[in-house]
Amino acid sequence: MRVLGVDPGLTRCGVGVVEGVAGRALTMRGVGVVRTPADAELGDRLVAVERGIEQWLDEHRPEVVAVERVFSQHNVSTVMGTAQASAVAMLCAARRGIPVALHTPSEVKAAVTGSGRADKAQVGAMVTRLLRLAAPPRPADAADALALAICHIWRAPAQNRLQQAVALHTPKGRTR
């Protein structure tokens, strides 16, 4: 499975591609950051994020896009920018018919480090180790994007089995 992880942000949107399957060694196919100038107009910044993500989709052809689920923060302008960049990533994937998976920050940290409260340095260190890299990807947004992709690869099989079990045990015509 090839997954594009997206750590959404308006100034720095982390992107990383990881390939592999749960239980086997994973391979990083690419990592980077889509940057936009903080002083640019919002519309221009969103277009720049879209162009950057489209380039990553064209180049790496992922089967799934894993995006960090936006969570409440104290700074409303920060959470708005994060949500807007997240929506752009989801739109780019949806346009191409690529499934999107959302993962919370604590879910990603727990998957990669074993603790949902791990700090950025711990996440970067584990991403470096898991992908056998010479150094942690910089900036942290890039490492976080790889962590999202790793989380999805490891958690997707269990999530798929759970969804299938729910579908089997839900009477026809009813939804949960």
Could you list the residues known to form a binding site, using ranges: 7, 68, 141
Q: Cα torsion at 1, 21, 101, 116 (round to 10°)?
A: -150
82 burial (CB, 10 Å; 0-12 / 13-18 / 19+) is: buried
* Token output for 145: 């994007």
Alpha carbons 122 and 71: distance in angstroms, whole number: 20
Catalytic residues: 7, 68, 141
Partnered with residue 14 across adjacent β-strands are 7, 33
- Cis status of the peptide bond prior to 37, with omega within 30 of 0: no
Report helix, strand or coil for 47: helix
Binding site members for Mg(2+):
7, 68, 141
The helix (H) or strand (E) run that includes residue 19 is: strand 12-19
Quickly tell me which residue has 């162009």 as its tokens: 51
Tokens 């640019």 sit at which residue? 40
